[in-house]
C-alpha cells in the first residue's frame, strides 16, 4: 500500500498537529523522506532537518525549532486519546511528550 502525502497529513491532523503551523509542513516532508528511505531516521535528525531546510530555503535550526514547537502544542492541545493510543508509555515522563525523533519514528512506524 502506497502512503500518500495526504494520508500522512491526515494522520498528523487526526492526532492534533495543527496544519497552520510551519512545523506541520516540515513534519510531512520528513515523513515523506523517511517513507522513501526508512534508514534515514537512524542516521540522526540533523540530516533530515538539513534536507527539509534546503527545500524550504530556511536554516536547519528553524526546521528543528518549528517541529519541536508543533510537537509541544500537539501534546498540550491535541487529541489525548489518539496520542496515548499511538505513543502510549513511550512519552518522556518528565516532559510529557516524546522527543522529535521519537515522534517522527512512531508516526513513521504507524504509517508503514
Taking only the tens place, the pLDDT of each residue in 52-62 is 999 999 999 99
The structural architecture, per CATH, of the domain 5-111 is Orthogonal Bundle (1.10)
Q: What is the pLDDT of residue 4?
A: 64
Kindly state the cell numbers that stand for 51.
534536507
Spatial separation of the C-alpha atoms in residues 82 and 40, rounded to whole Å = 26
Dump the DSSP string for 45-102. HHHHHHHHHHHHTS-HHHHHHHHHHHHHHHHHHS-HHHHHHHHGGGSBTTTTB--HHH
- In tens, the pLDDT along 56-100 reads 999 999 999 999 999 999 998 988 888 888 887 666 556 678 889
Q: What is the pLDDT of residue 1?
A: 40
Amino acid at each position: 500500500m502506497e502512503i500518500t502525502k495526504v494520508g500522512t497529513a491526515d494522520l498528523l491532523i487526526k492526532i492534533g498537529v495543527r496544519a497552520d503551523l510551519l512545523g506541520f509542513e516540515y513534519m510531512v516532508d520528513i515523513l515523506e523522506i523517511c517513507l522513501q528511505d526508512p534508514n534515514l531516521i537512524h542516521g540522526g535528525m540533523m540530516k533530515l532537518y538539513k534536507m527539509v531546510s534546503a527545500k524550504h530555503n530556511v536554516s536547519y535550526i528553524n526546521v528543528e525549532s518549528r517541529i519541536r514547537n508543533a510537537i509541544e502544542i500537539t501534546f498540550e492541545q491535541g487529541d489525548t486519546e489518539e496520542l496515548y493510543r499511538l505513543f502510549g508509555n513511550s512519552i518522556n515522563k518528565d516532559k510529557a511528550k516524546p522527543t522529535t525523533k521519537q515522534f517522527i519514528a512512531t508516526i513513521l512506524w504507524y504509517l508503514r
